[in-house]
Chains A and B, each alone.
Chain A
Amino acid sequence: MEIFLQQIINGLVQGSVYALVALGYTMVYGILGLINFAHGEVVMMGAMISLSVLTALIGIGLSPFLALPLSLTLAMAGCMALGYGIERIAYRPLRHAPRLAPLITAIGVSIVLQNLAMMIWGRDYHSFPQLFSNHTHQIFGAIISDIQLIIVIAALCIMAGLMLLIHRTRLGRAMRAIAENQHAAQLMGVDVNRVISITFMIGSALAAVAGLMVSANYGLAHYYMGFLLGLKAFTAAVLGGIGNLRGAMLGGLLLGLIESLGAGYIGDITGGFMGSQYQDVFAFLVLIAVLVFRPSGLLGERLAERA
């Protein structure tokens, strides 16, 4: 029972991160019908920037309570600039090109960002500095740490805020209008390019937060971490129904849970033949299952017809 609960807690923590990243994929897909495969690298950049700023600030003796928000702010700003740049340079010129073209560019952008990160930060793992004594709490025998608690709560608050933005504000209305019909949105006076830029920037800011969260949760970051994380978050977005915001959140949390429970019990299931190092398999089993049995995802409708 404790093990089950522990896997649920771990799954929710990891799932919160997946959800934040999946939202970035799904927002861009919803508006442009484009899968921004470079998004995982933006998460990595967010992790690397926040980690090195944090380490530097702690190094000069700044209190963690100041250093943490400061490094997060810088990482968010950096990632927003990056997201903006990626759209401007890699996607906008290809807006009317065949679908394969931006996909290939996205892979190119990923490689560039990975190599850039490798040049700046090297190939080593960077460890997350010890900020404060990381208290743990017991819930029915399962353990959750302060950091994990903060991750889940922060992620939930951010998702609630995003929903408010999309469903209750003028900007959010414009985003949904563009997702349905770009020409009609233009006829309403919407500067479509500007809203698309803002969308990339919001998704990238979420990616920065997620980057800091993963590196805090696992205690490390490295230049290659964006690849697998990005692929899994993409799986989460597809699982929920790509283009659907609630779907991305649900898909993220579910994928975290599936992975964590799978890793916890795979030993039992296979009679010890496979161990928890196989946990990454689950994400892709899920991806395959969704694509075969329900390509539109759990909450997905038919893909929006685009004008």
Chain B
Amino acid sequence: MMNSDTLSPRKQKSSNLAKPRAEMAGKNGALLEVKGLRIAYGGIQAVKGIDLHVAEGELVALIGSNGAGKTSTLKALAGILPPSTGQIQFDGKSLNSVPAHQRVVMGIALVPEGRGVFARLSVSENLLMGAYSRSDDSEIKEDLRRMYELFPRLVERRDQVAGTLSGGEQQMLAMARALMSRPRLLMLDEPSMGLAPLMVKKIFETIKEVAAQGMSILLVEQNARLALQVANRGYVMESGAIALSGESLLGNDAVRRAYLGG
């Protein structure tokens, strides 16, 4: 089953996942800064002018009920959904006219809702797709090794097509694949969706581990309690707007009532 070795401090040293490709610039400013983001589908406003930011090394949770606009927000940040207005700055540079594939090069990775693994590609091919934006072949090999260390389950399945994996394994693969691009900001869209409790636990342990290594993470979750437990900070989204934000949302009465079941 799970190899707890991968979470040991010794191994952690050798598998520093948060090794940004670019120099860290603007240490004091936020890594990601979003201002007045609006997204519409046809005439329907899904996101109604939100502000949010993620600082370097922070784990930020974005929670909210069905249809609040969380996925739309992440898609716009990744560049696969054009916003109607708003400013997105990453590392001090405007992303507004940067196409999705170049945002990956800049260091933005999204693990999409529903995982989006390539079902007919093998596990190792999926991981190599994650490294598509890189050309440092020897380091890609090294990172592959690290991913198999972080997710030992994937080792036995490396030559299997991804469509044959269980939901949890696919989620691991999707995370590993995103990490293969050596992102500076990792965005996760409902990583716990549809998974058995044990698998959810494993996924969240991995998120914590990756965060502990200094990765900046924006985590979208329906499972608000879990998300807020691991996060440094959180935003609550309600029908397209940020309703609440802060560091101690778990203790907030309104949040408890609406999202944590009392």
Contacts and interface: CB of A to CB of B under 8 A. Distances in A.
Contacts of B128: 170, 173
A186 B130 CA distance: 10
B79 A186 contact: yes
A200 B116 CA distance: 25
Given A173-B121, A183-B80, A189 B133 contact: yes
B101 interface: yes
Nearest to B108: A187
Given A176-B121, A177-B121, A189 B116 contact: no
Contacts of A191: 99, 101
Given A186-B80, A189-B105, A177 B129 contact: yes
B128 to A, nearest CB: 6
B33 interface: no
Interface residues of B, number: 27
Interface string A178-222: 001101111111111000000000000000000000000000000
Contacts of A188: 104, 129-130, 132-133, 177, 181
A190 B116 contact: no
Interface of A: 170, 173-174, 176-177, 180-181, 183-192, 307
Given A170-B132, A173-B128, A187 B121 contact: no
Q: Which of A186, A188, A190 has the most CB of B within 10 A?
A: A188
Contacts of B116: 181, 183-184, 187, 307
Contacts of B99: 191
Nearest to B78: A187
Nearest to B75: A183
A189 B132 contact: yes
Nearest to A301: B120
Given A189-B181, A192-B101, A184 B118 contact: yes
Contacts of B119: 180
B118 A174 contact: no
B106 to A, nearest CB: 10
> What secondary structure prevails in chain A residues at the interface with B?
helix
B109 A187 contact: yes
B45 to A, nearest CB: 21
Contact of B80 (A170, A176, A187): A187
A186 B101 contact: yes
B101 A189 contact: yes
Contacts of A181: 116, 118
B125 interface: yes
Given A186-B79, A186-B80, A187-B104, A180 B120 contact: yes
B100 interface: yes
A195 to B, nearest CB: 10
A30 to B, nearest CB: 11
B88 interface: no
Contacts of A183: 80, 112, 116
Contacts of A192: 101
Contacts of B105: 189
Given A188-B104, A189-B133, 16 more contacts: A173-B125, A173-B129, A177-B118, A180-B118, A180-B119, A184-B118, A186-B79, A186-B80, A187-B112, A188-B132, A188-B177, A188-B181, A189-B101, A190-B101, A190-B129, A191-B101
A226 B76 CA distance: 44
B17 interface: no
A176 B80 CA distance: 19
Nearest to B163: A180
Nearest to A181: B116
A174 B129 contact: yes
A245 B128 CA distance: 22
Nearest to A182: B80
B110 interface: yes
27 contacts: A170-B128, A170-B132, A173-B121, A173-B125, A173-B129, A173-B132, A177-B118, A180-B121, A183-B80, A183-B112, A183-B116, A184-B112, A187-B78, A187-B80, A187-B104, A187-B109, A187-B116, A187-B178, A188-B129, A188-B130, A188-B133, A189-B101, A189-B105, A189-B133, A190-B129, A191-B101, A307-B116
A258 B224 CA distance: 63
A191 B117 CA distance: 18
B75 to A, nearest CB: 8
Nearest to A172: B125
Contacts of B178: 187
Contacts of A177: 118, 121, 129
